[in-house]
Structures are given as structure tokens and as C-alpha cells.
Amino acid sequence: MSAMTTVEQTVYIPAGMGASVSVSEGTLIRLTDLYGQQPIDFWAFCQEDPWEFLSPEHTRPSIMKLYPGVGDSAFTNFRRPIVTLVEDNSPGQHDMQFAACDRARYIELGASLPHANCQDNLHLELQKLNLDVRGVIQPWNLFTNFFINPDGTFSIKAPSTQPGDNCTLRVDINCYIIISACPQDMNDTCGGNPTDVQMEIGR
Ligand SMILES: [Zn+2]
């Protein structure tokens, strides 16, 4: 049985694009990798004060893991749980180590500009929401297989997700959710082929 019994809204996000939604405490968010091997960059900003937001670097010491598993929360920069992973029908690779892709990253990798990127998607959605939050805010990289090797190096591996793999988050603080279907096509982050994703809001 899945955690979400009622779907109230379905948002379809084409490859490389972003989306945002306003959600209240107790809402469930189901994120689906429709075609497999597709990461979703995920941000959450508190409605009361958007300068309080989901913070991977604050989450890691709170849960003593590199990224949350089922039953674990993601925490804000004020160390309050903002969302909790309640169901995971995926291999569970939800990286919390790395910044979103941005223009500079694509230049670094030799791409020709302009190139869609997750940071521009974030800032576009912040603008749409009329949120005056600037700066570089690290996402939670759902379905992202950045593998940490025992010697401290890491490998950018293609995600192990299959078409339709999904995870469900419970909202713990009224917040704005912003996601980006990562357009990374210069390495294995998206298995070399960025694809569409889906976000469902429900109960
Ligand atoms: Zn990206």
C-alpha cells in the first residue's frame, strides 16, 4: 500500500525544466522518475521565513548519515525537520553532497552555452513565487548516484532507478517546494540522457 491515498495535483516536468508548489504541513509529495536514471534536484523554503530552508549540510549531522532513508527527515538551516521520507520505491540513492549544476559547471565541462541548468531553474521558480532569496542554495539530489568511495574520492555514476521509480515525502513545515529535472548531459549524472519527471501532491 502506498503512503499517498489521494492525489490532489499532478505536475509534469519536462526534461531540464523546473517547477514549484506551495504545500502545507501534512501534505504528501510523490516524486517519480518516469523513464529511469533521472535525478530530481529538490529545495524547500519555509513560508513563514524563506531564509529558513532545507539544508543538506545541517541534515547530515542531525541524522548521522550522508542522506536520509525511509523514516529520516531533511532539516533546515535552523535544524528543524522540514520534510520526511515516508516511502521509497527506488534504490534509495538521494545524494546530499553536491551543489546544483549551474552555468559555470557547464563551462567547466566544455558545454556550449546557453545550457539549461538547475540553479537557473531554482532562481526562476523563486522569482515566480516572489521570494527574495538570493544565493547558491544546495539541493537535495533525489535519485542521484554520486558514489562515495572508501578512499574519499567519489564517482559520478548513472542512477540505478528504473522507469516509474518514486519516493514520497511528508511535509513537516508549511513551505514552498521547488524541483528541477536535472539537464546534465555532459556526464553520467542522468545516464547521459535527461528525461521528464512527475510531482504529485496529495494526502
Ligand atoms: Zn542539474
pTM (two decimals) = 0.98
pLDDT of residue 149: 95
143 CA distance to ligand 1 middle (Å): 12
pLDDT of residue 195: 98
93 CA distance to ligand 1 middle (Å): 15
Cα–Cα distance for residue pair 85/141, rounded to 1 Å: 13
Q: Which positions ≥6 away from 18 have C-beta within 8 Å?
A: 118, 121, 122, 124, 125, 178, 179, 180, 181
Question: Exposed/middle/buried for 61, CB within 10 Å: 0-12, 13-18, 19+?
Answer: exposed
DSSP letters spanning 90-144: S---BB-SSPPP-HHHHHHTTPPSS---HHHHHHHHHHHTT----S--PPEEETB
17 CA distance to ligand 1 middle (Å): 10
Sorted by where each begins, the domain ranges of the chain are 7-202
167 CA distance to ligand 1 middle (Å): 19
Q: Which positions ≥6 away from 123 have C-beta within 8 Å?
A: none
pLDDT of residue 168: 98
99 CA distance to ligand 1 middle (Å): 9
Which of the residues in the chain have pLDDT under 70? none
pLDDT of residue 186: 96
